[in-house]
Structure 1
Amino acid sequence: MSLCHSFHHQFYGSSRNIGLRHAFDILKRKGLASPSTQGNFYQMLSEALLHVAEAHFRDLWCVVAGIDSLEKLRDYSPEQLLNFANIILDKYASTNALDEHRMHPRDRQDDIIIEAIMFNRDILDFINLDDAIRVGDVGRIRDMLPRLIFRYIGGNHTNYSTELLELIQGLEREWPDDLVLFMLRFCWVANPTGKPNAFLPFDEVMEHNIRDTKETFETLGPSTSWEYLKKTTASIPMRRKIKDHVEDQINSFHRGKSHTDPDKEDDITTLQASYARSKIHHYNPRRQLPKEDQLEDYNAKGSDLHTLAKVINSWLEKRITKRATTEDWTYGYESSEQDNADIDMQASM
């Protein structure tokens, strides 16, 4: 969720560039102008990000292969398709590609293709992390931590950058191997169903537990007590399985549970057509944007050595504190003569 909000903050943009606002206006998506933690904003935003990303990369396949329809990719061999994929990654979704375009004199820079390449590069991190969580690949999640730190530092998300610095310090320097293994196996993601591609972050699993305890399997009646609630809560995993089995057999909620957005393909096609008309992945030296309309590069800002060192030193200063080496047995009050007499008596015994 924090990563989604970071992308919204960085790439929302204005009506004059190709940021998320441009895409939301084309798709007529309402309620995505301001980040929120309430309702279904996160679900709507993450879905929109994936749609925009797919439209970007579909357009790139057409640009690199020199075709006007993805169907024509069937005419190419696997080796040619792999070569196209490498070109897309190297020339249109990497930091090296950004640096090449930024090396041009200012009057020869194409701000539109720079923003497109920056979005392509950064959204791959979001897709990678989302997929790693879903399949339960904690190794990939661990490998993503440094890149997430760069993003959070560049976006001035100090709480998240501090949290990740603490996590990396523990994983790489302080925690013993058995604690690291325990954290990776049992504290990051969980699979409440046991089905493939059904892992969830632990905090989301707890939200599901709270929902089932308070709403889905709510305990009611005059005999309700904390002891009874403890007993019913322990049975929730089995009651979920019974509920899902009944729904599957009767099929009363099957449509509602498995239904996907029928407009996904239409949305992606609409965005791809817009990107193709605007030629966002074609270099045009005449496309310069005003300073206020240019999108910031969070990864570049966060990975700057001076900025990175400043954040790490600030974190380190707060982490190192003076600790008392004496013990105070008065517990905050002055001992009386009777207390001292009792202590002397216990000592003599």
Structure 2
Amino acid sequence: MVLLLRHTVIYLELCAAIKIGDIGRIEESLKWITVMLQNGSNNNYAMELLHIHCALRYVWTPEMKSRIMATWLVNTKGKENGWIPTDLYQEHNNRLIKAVYAAKGSNSSWDTLASSISVNIRTFSTIRKQFDECFNRPHNSSHHSTVSAEADIEILLQSLREGNILGDDLGAGYPDFEVTSDKDLYAHGVSYLIEKRMDAFKK
């Protein structure tokens, strides 16, 4: 359980760093995640993270590193805690492009899609919103109310207390509960990195 909590904290730290746009914290989180993924089944991601780490640490100049990391996040509305990964922003653009393409039909050429629609997709999106407001057209809100997690946390804590999950008697209250040790993703990642991954990486 302790290892699971540690792994979760690293993930939550990465999410929090992205949201506030803290590139330094993202870099520190990726150091852990890069190692932890080495012994997983996502070989492509593991290798790509390894390449990025080596480039950040040994290949790129400080100026190049700063420029590349500056492209990782975008904040389209300039709001506090409004940062998102650049690839997610591109996915949003892809969705808008597909909507326009679907409206124009199959007669729209790929050249038009690439040279006219895609490069102006955010402008088209803004115009659409202005039309909706001008004609009082109903639309789906893009804002989500924040739901308090206190009730869920209290239920979780109560369950942990009743089962003594974090105590010495891990299986108390659960007769059929099999106590097993959590897998240390970091330790396993280091071992796999030394024994196998580095050979493939050097090639």
Q: TM range, normalised to the smaller chain?
A: 0.7 to 0.9
- Of 52, 61, 72, the residue aligned with 1:176 is 61
Question: In the TM superposition, what is the alpha-carbon distance from 1:126 to its structure 2 partner?
Answer: 0.9
Question: In the TM superposition, what is the alpha-carbon distance from 1:152 to its structure 2 partner?
Answer: 0.7
User: Closer, same or farther in 2 for the Cα pair 1:177/1:285, shift >3 Å?
Assistant: closer
Question: In the TM superposition, what is the alpha-carbon distance from 1:128 to its structure 2 partner?
Answer: 0.7
The answer (yes or no) to whether the contact 1:217–1:236 under 8 Å persists in 2 is no
Paired letter, 1:211:
R
Question: In the TM superposition, what is the alpha-carbon distance from 1:222 to its structure 2 partner?
Answer: 8.5
Question: In the TM superposition, what is the alpha-carbon distance from 1:258 to its structure 2 partner?
Answer: 2.7
The answer to whether the aligner puts 1:236 opposite 2:121 as a matched pair is: yes
Paired letter, 1:127:
L
Q: Distance in 2 between matches of 1:226 and 1:240?
A: 20
User: Closer, same or farther in 2 for the Cα pair 1:150/1:137, shift >3 Å?
Assistant: same
User: Closer, same or farther in 2 for the Cα pair 1:232/1:219, shift >3 Å?
Assistant: farther
Q: Distance in 1 between matches of 2:162 and 2:106?
A: 66
Q: Distance in 2 between matches of 1:247 and 1:259?
A: 19
- Give 1:297's aligned residue: 184
Question: In the TM superposition, what is the alpha-carbon distance from 1:260 to its structure 2 partner?
Answer: 4.2
Paired letter, 1:148:
I
- Of 256, 264, 279, the residue aligned with 2:164 is 279
User: Closer, same or farther in 2 for the Cα pair 1:173/1:219, shift >3 Å?
Assistant: same
- Of 90, 96, 100, the residue aligned with 1:206 is 90
Question: In the TM superposition, what is the alpha-carbon distance from 1:261 to its structure 2 partner?
Answer: 7.5
Q: Per-residue displacement from partner, 1:277-319 (whole Å, max 9, x unpaired)?
A: 222232227769657x543221222234xx432245313442x
SS at match of 2:64: helix
Q: Distance in 1 between matches of 2:82 and 2:64?
A: 25
Q: Distance in 2 between matches of 1:215 and 1:275?
A: 47
SS at match of 1:235: helix
- Give 2:80's aligned residue: 196
Q: Distance in 1 between matches of 2:181 and 2:86?
A: 37
Alignment length, in residue pairs? 198
Question: In the TM superposition, what is the alpha-carbon distance from 1:182 to its structure 2 partner?
Answer: 1.9
Aligned identity (percent) is 24
Question: In the TM superposition, what is the alpha-carbon distance from 1:237 to its structure 2 partner?
Answer: 1.3
Question: In the TM superposition, what is the alpha-carbon distance from 1:137 to its structure 2 partner?
Answer: 1.5
Question: In the TM superposition, what is the alpha-carbon distance from 1:265 to its structure 2 partner?
Answer: 4.7
- Give 1:308's aligned residue: 193
Superposition TM-score, scaled by structure 1 size: 0.48
The answer (yes or no) to whether the contact 2:75–2:83 under 8 Å persists in 1 is yes
Unpaired segments of 5 or more residues in structure 1?
1-114, 319-349
User: Closer, same or farther in 2 for the Cα pair 1:203/1:222, shift >3 Å?
Assistant: closer
Paired letter, 1:252:
P
CA RMSD of aligned residues (A): 3.3
The answer to whether the aligner puts 1:167 opposite 2:63 as a matched pair is: no
Q: Distance in 1 between matches of 2:33 and 2:107?
A: 49
Q: Per-residue displacement from partner, 1:81-139 (whole Å, max 9, x unpaired)?
A: xxxxxxxxxxxxxxxxxxxxxxxxxxxxxxxxxx1x22221111111101111222111
Q: Distance in 1 between matches of 2:130 and 2:30?
A: 39
Which has the larger Rg? 1
Q: Distance in 2 between matches of 1:259 and 1:286?
A: 39
The answer to whether the aligner puts 1:252 opposite 2:177 as a matched pair is: no
Note the 1:138-149 alignment, pairs <5 A. Answer: 138-149=23-34
